[in-house]
Structure 1
């Protein structure tokens, strides 16, 4: 088996487990906070919101830092650091004695994350060019499915194992990810010649396609925003649609996770498609289709219709993440790849957090239907931006030409700098 394929398998498992570890706490957080001694409903809601969201905010801050470290010291050391750290921290949550310790561990969890950033960088830089879209598509299924299936799995684990054992089991799986990474991931890393730590502003000035990269960051943010805008309200919405009040939580989990299942099925295929026709075309088409599918979700009559549309949404958006990552790889100088993927992961995390918060606010002030309308409008706004900022600029390049854009422009930029 080729090294990049073996690394892809290990990274898929590790990313899937890591994202489950970050998101599985959502459905059990209020119950665990109550178990830790907080009984006032209002306080439980406030603390649960802080404890859930703080990890994603801190992760968004630290992802570019770990991305820089990956460029400087190698991707495998970052994978080992993140997987072992997450195993210890998540497992320790099951031993928390009060909510302050729990929140502190959630903050620490956000600090030490970076597994998915290092994995994306490793796969993007190691994979053969002709298979890059497919490989990143496969890896993206771990990211999306881990994020979406985590809450559902967390609820099921609580039923069978109890709250504390949910954390212990997740920590154990991350420890497995650590050992599989240690023994099976291979990397021949050549560190960058530049030793000086460059600021974000300096890095940004060196990028030959900074406007395109910024547009792709915004697209990553909006993708996660769209996924998670419905998370805080889906149980309420299912309650309005369902006549069977005994299984609302289960049906809600199924509806929310339907898009994750669809992404697992469709992402590798759309990744291959992006290798053939160009990732910018897949991004544009996926955004248009997703914007359309959000609208009828506001008019469904029962949970099964919602589930079908969420499944369709998962198929539509499955090509977004791998195609964005493929474009980032092609237009970013290799020595800056880790930093740029770190910023992109930050956009994902901020989209997750913002979508969860804003979706609930829109539903409470305007009504649940407006969450779908506003999210759809946001996606169509992104369509226009991607068309003008990415598609029109790259449409004259063939897929092979795009792979050399960053290299050629970086070389031209360095020549001009030396001439000056």
Structure 2
């Protein structure tokens, strides 16, 4: 028997040896691994989001000239990564349960570093879209980090740990477009992709040499066998799981529904055309900015008062903050409300991830968190489409009313799921 297999068994004073859980076996590693995962999530999301300001320019460089086609291909190229990640997240989660969480982190970091660098040498827009899709299929460092942190952190600290991880991801999404606004002017657009690949390569090296994990397939097989034989094995409550997946999707859907109309909406508030793009970018960043301040705090609060309480409270508050955005008369009022919305949104995903981890047996944790990531990416893809359609059919104000009502309805769903 291997050393790790021997450490899997802990003999209590009386009775049979007890199997140590994955979290117990990694209790000396989870804080260090959390720090690396936060850094890796930050750098990968900076690299993925920094192309927002110059993506249309790059598409034009690749031979697309018609303005409408430039916009269309830019949207396809940007969304391809999220589509790829959403499709493969459950697969990588299942493989993480079988072969270890660190292996999935290394796979994601190395794959994304290579693909990001290759994007800098494409010669057609079709190659750009294909590589952006490939980045999603083989990447997903942030998703893999959620699986590792959610699995390793002690149950009483899982909310805080996932909140800290969420803060790093939010910071990456916030800073990425700012980096993308300045870096191409210094090293060119293609050089910016090489720089992004280098940043992810640093995260890959840290993951390889710093992240520690007590895991072996033999240990997991032993634990799965013991779980099947145990009468106390946690039974999956599929109603609760479904409610968590739907809520996670709705959270991202509500947050992203404003994206297609926000520039037009801000223009209707009297912002001059010369400043419209800059102001719209600032307002878009406000929700992530607000979330950075409260994600870890709300995660810790979930550890103290319970995740369901935080989820229900944040859903109601976010829904209520959404409604006044339909009545603003100045862009700075919208920005302030988006900050408040981000502060209340921040408690949702870490708390949902914590409950998702606890809703299934340990041997299925990675797979469950993978499905959760897919639900989030589904909301991220569908949200802008639905928001745009509502804005066209019923007016821009209707988007805020619809998403606010949707979030409050999700609070009712969460209350129902808690009683199951």
TM bracket (short chain): 0.7 to 0.9
- 1:41 corresponds to: 67
The answer to whether the 8 A contact 1:76-1:187 is kept is yes
- RMSD of equivalent CA atoms: 2.0
Q: Say whether residues 1:329 and 2:357 are aligned partners.
A: yes
Note closer, same or farther for the CA distance 1:111–1:252 as it changes in structure 2 (3 Å cut): same
Q: Which stretch of the first structure deviates more once superposed, 289-298 or 42-51?
A: 42-51
Change beyond 3 A, Cα 1:379–1:65: same
1:216 matched to 2:241? The reply is no
2:166 matches 1:154: no
Give the SS at the match of 2:214: coil
| Corresponding residue of 2:377 | 349
In structure 2, the partner of 1:92 is: 118
Secondary structure, counterpart of 1:37 in structure 2: coil
Q: Distance in 1 between matches of 2:305 and 2:378?
A: 30
**Is 1:131 equivalent to 2:154 in the alignment?**
no
**CA offset at residue 134 of structure 1?**
0.7
Instruction: Give CA deviations for 1:297-349 in whole Å, capped at 9, x if unaligned.
Output: 11111111111100000111110011011111222211101101111111111
Q: 1:178 offset after TM fit, Å?
A: 0.4
Structure 1 residue 25 and structure 2 residue 70: aligned? no
Conserved in 2, the CA contact under 8 Å of 1:83 and 1:174? yes
Aligned position for 1:102: 128
Aligned to 1:399: none
The structure number with the bigger radius of gyration is 2
Of residues 409, 415, 419, the one that matches 1:381 is 409
Cα pair distance change 1:137/1:183, threshold 3 Å: same
Query: In the aligned structure 1, how far is the partner of 2:102 from the partner of 2:273?
Result: 48
Kept after mapping to 1: 8 A contact 2:263/2:277: yes
2:253 corresponds in structure 1 to: 225
Query: The residue matched to 2:156 in structure 1 has which SS?
Result: helix
Q: What CA deviation, in whole Å up to 9, does each residue of 1:229-270 have, x standing for no partner? A: 112222222222243433222221211111111111101111
1:3-402 → structure 2 map (5 Å cutoff) = 3-191=29-217, 192-193=220-221, 208-390=236-418, 392-393=419-420
- In structure 1, what is the Cα distance between the partners aligned to 2:320 and 2:64? 43
Per-residue CA distance 1:111-167 (angstroms, 9 max, x = gap): 102322221121122212221111111111223333344344433434444322221
Distance between the aligned counterparts of 1:277 and 1:9, measured in 2? 25
Q: How many residues align?
A: 383
After superposition, the Cα gap between the structure-2 partners of 1:313 and 1:156, relative to the gap in structure 1 and judged at 3 Å, is farther
Bigger drift between 120-129 and 77-86 goes to 120-129
TM-score by length of 1: 0.87
Distance in 1 (alpha carbons) for counterparts of 2:44 and 2:401: 32
Partner of 2:20: none
Q: CA deviation at 1:90?
A: 1.1
SS at match of 2:258: coil
Aligned position for 1:418: none
Residue pair 1:148, 1:256 contacting (<8 A) in 2 also: no
**1:58 Cα deviation from its structure 2 partner:** 1.8
Does the 8 A contact of 1:65 with 1:339 survive in 2? yes
- The residue number in structure 2 matching 1:401 is none
Per-residue Cα deviation, 1:172-217 (whole angstroms, up to 9, x for no partner): 1101110111111110014331899xxxxxxxxx952111111111
Correspondence for 2:230: none
Quickly say closer, same or farther: Cα 1:282–1:15, change in 2 above 3 A.
same
Shift, 1:2, TM fit: 4.8
Conserved? CA contact 1:51–1:102, under 8 Å: yes
Structure 2 gap ranges (5+) = 1-26, 225-233
Given that residues 149 and 260 in structure 1 are in contact (C-alpha distance below 8 angstroms), is that contact kept between their aligned partners in structure 2?
A: no
State TM-score, norm by structure 2: 0.87
